[in-house]
Chain A
Amino acid sequence: MENNTEIKTDLAIIGAGMAGMAAAVFAANRGISAVVVGGAGAFEYSSGLLDLWALTRPELKVCKNPWQGIGQISKLWPRHPFLKMGELDIGKAFDELTAALGKNGLPYGGHPSKNSGIITAFGTLKPTYRFPLTMANNIAALAEKKPILLLDFKGLREFRARFVQQVLSATLQNVHIGAIDFPQMANRSELFTPLMAQAMETEQVQDKFVAAVRPLLNGESYLGIPAILGINGSYEIQKRLEGLLGIKVFEIPTSPISVPGIRLKETFKKALEDSSVTRLPDRRVYSASSFSGSAFSGSAVPGKGFILEANTLGTNGARIQANACLLATGRFLSKGLVSDRKGVREPVFNLPVDQPETRKDWHGATYFDPKGHAINQAGVTTDSALRPLGKENTPVHESLYAAGSILAGQDWMRTRSGAGLSIATAFHAIQQMTF
């Protein structure tokens, strides 16, 4: 892109994680002219599972029905962003998003009113709302208790079948383990799941995989493998392997950098091709002012529209002129919130950040404190339309919105609601906008 590029758009989405990309898909579906700024690197840390709500706090009870957990939010989480929208909209947001993912080659499954347990690389069962269909057979395997073969790859350290088997053994006994060399990578001392997934996209590697697995089968009904069945076309690869092996196959999500997360990123990109949304993946918004040039300092700014400076550090700038903005920059890891020893701030619009009074209140006594850590509930407060509030408790700008984990009053990690928070608030924010 050239120096001082000028871009005019209706909506600028700042941040390309789950909230930003979900908002981009919702904007594209509505024909809204938008740009989404950011690198989507966060998806590499995503498990690929789409949580809605799965855990009550501080009782630590797994919710079989996510809507039951959400029904209790007003009591337990009085400032939670979900309280700003109807449950029906949360459901619609999930349906619209997973439909877009499915249409672009990444089909998801899940029950409309139930969480499902997905086996992780720690042998634990992660309760989640929607899961890639390549993991679906895991649910039947658990229910049927028929023999499962868990497959190790020599040199892959993120997944050890015996680890999974041993932790699972309290619930499931019929789990066998076996090991193969990954085709064409037998001489490597260490394997990485994204490279394995890429290799698995060729039929030649799939056939070699099948030939290596076949001798290990001994009457099992299911084959569990780490999530390596391709970046693109994973569902088709799974079906092909099942046809060749004659047993059901399921994927087990591994720790980052995660293949199911990369699939999400690639599928979002595909969903936005030839749409009303332009991606600016190499840039980051460093500063914003109103269209009339007023700086944002935490107080209400009059007038319409925004000017955003979107740069790649040390290179050319882009100036984005937008009628509305959606702030979806995430929390500390993605620098949507920045902390020092004194407190937490929001760097793009200088929004007030709701936070504990002093740093000693940020964390609980122990790591696994059932109440979670107060710092994780810090963030941006908004009105019912998800417009961030300024010092005067009124919206900072009439068309500035916020979505995703930057919002205050929630703890997505300890309630298992990360994707749901991002998807639902992105949907709600987009619905408020008129152009």
Chain B
Amino acid sequence: MRVTGLMYDEEYIKDSQGLDNIKFLLDERFKGQKPVLWDSQLAQAELNEAMFCSFFGLDLIGPDTIGPDLIGSDRQGGANGK
């Protein structure tokens, strides 16, 4: 992620190329890791999956990566939407 940030800063990459790179790297690493994904490796993989999928949404593909569906949701003010 840090390298990706640097590549954007230096304008080596643009648009969503950085995300494509990260997705590619994660998939490649997974192929090698799969045979040893238990115990502490599995725990670390869980943290990574929570971050890259649940938080950053890299498992969504194409236009859904930036979720255009959600733009224009009603703006919500106070707590609990009140």
Contact = CB atoms under 8 A, between A and B. Distances in A.
Interface in B41-65: 42-44, 46-47, 49-51, 53-61, 63-65
B42 A62 contact: no
Given A166-B18, A255-B1, A333 B43 contact: yes
A166 B74 contact: no
A375 B39 CA distance: 12
Contact of A124 (B17, B49, B65): B65
B42 to A, nearest CB: 5
A109 B80 contact: yes
Contact of B15 (A140, A167, A331): A167
Interface residues of B, number: 60
A60 B51 CA distance: 17
B27 to A, nearest CB: 5
Contacts of A39: none
B24 to A, nearest CB: 10
Contacts, number: 205
A367 B30 contact: yes
Given A157-B5, A160-B9, A126 B68 contact: no
B1 A168 contact: no
Interface of B: prevailing SS: helix
Contact of B8 (A125, A162, A339): A162
Interface stretch (A201-209, A380-388, A413-421): A413-421
A114 B74 contact: yes
A122 B38 contact: no
A60 B64 contact: yes
Contacts of B80: 95, 98-99, 102, 108-110, 112, 130
Contacts of A375: 37, 42
A64 B69 contact: yes
B27 A368 contact: yes
Given A64-B70, A367-B30, A413-B54, A332 B43 contact: yes
B6 to A, nearest CB: 8
A167 B42 contact: no
Interface in A309-327: none
B39 A255 contact: no
A72 interface: no
Contacts of B2: 157-158
Interface string A101-120: 01000011111101111001
A98 to B, nearest CB: 6
A26 to B, nearest CB: 16
B53 to A, nearest CB: 5
Contacts of A333: 43-44, 46-47
Given A112-B81, A160-B5, A416-B54, A170 B59 contact: no
Nearest to B49: A413
3 smallest beta-carbon distances between A and B, as pairs:
A117-B70, A160-B5, A125-B67
19 contacts: A47-B55, A51-B54, A108-B80, A109-B79, A110-B80, A115-B70, A117-B70, A122-B1, A122-B57, A123-B66, A126-B56, A127-B67, A133-B79, A162-B11, A163-B18, A170-B15, A332-B43, A367-B30, A376-B49
Interface of B: 1-2, 4-6, 8-9, 11, 13-19, 23, 26-27, 29-30, 34, 37-39, 42-44, 46-47, 49-51, 53-61, 63-81
Given A62-B67, A98-B79, A414-B54, 4 more contacts: A125-B71, A136-B77, A163-B5, A171-B66
